[in-house]
Structure 1
C-alpha cells in the first residue's frame, strides 16, 4: 500500500523494480569509474606504500559516497515524478 492507503498496480510495482535496478547499476558504474580514476595510478605506477594506501583508501571512500548519492538521487527523483503523475483525489477536477 502507498501513502494514501491505495494498492499499487502491477505497472507501478514493475516501474519501481526497474527504477531500483537502474539506480543500482548506474551507481555501481559511477563508483567503479571513480575508484579506477583515483586508485588506478596506485596500481599502474607503483608509488611508495603510503601513497598507494592513501590512493586506494581515498578511492574506496569516494566510491562508496558516490554510490550512495547516486542511488538516493535516482530513487528520490523517481518518487517525486511518480507522485506528481497521480491525480489528487481531493481535487475538484478528479
Structure 2
C-alpha cells in the first residue's frame, strides 16, 4: 500500500496521465495511417482491404496501449526514485 500523496504529487500524476493519453492517441493515429496507407492509395483491392483495415486498427490499439503503459511506467519509476531520494519510503 502506498503512503499518502501530496496535492502536487496527485496533480503531477494527473498531468502525466493526460500526456500519456494524448501521446498514445497521436502515435496510434500515425501507426494506423502507416498501415492503412496502401488501402488509401488504392494498391489493395477486394477482400484484402478489410484485412488491411483490421490490421491497422490492431496496430493502432497496440501502439496506444504500449505508449500509455510506457509513459506511465516511466512516471512511476521517476516518482519512486524521487521518493527514495527524499527519504519518504512507502509503508507496506
Q: Greater RCO between the two (CA within 8 Å, min separation 6)?
A: 2
Return the alpha-carbon distance in structure 1 between the equivalents of residues 88 and 72 of structure 2. Answer: 24
TM-score when normalising by structure 2: 0.85
Decide whether the 8 Å contact of 1:35 with 1:63 is kept in 2: yes
Over residues 6-52 of structure 1, what are the superposed CA-to-partner deviations in whole Å (9 max), with x where a residue is unaligned?
x2111111100100000000000000001011112212316322221
Aligned pair count reads: 87
The list of structure 1 runs, each at least 4 consecutive aligned residues, that deviate by more than 6 angstroms after superposition, is none
Decide whether the 8 Å contact of 1:27 with 1:71 is kept in 2: yes
Correspondences of 1:1-80 after superposition (within 5 Å):
3=2, 5=3, 7-45=4-42, 47-80=44-77
Indicate the SS of the match to 2:47: helix
Unaligned runs of 5+ in 1: none
TM-score when normalising by structure 1: 0.83
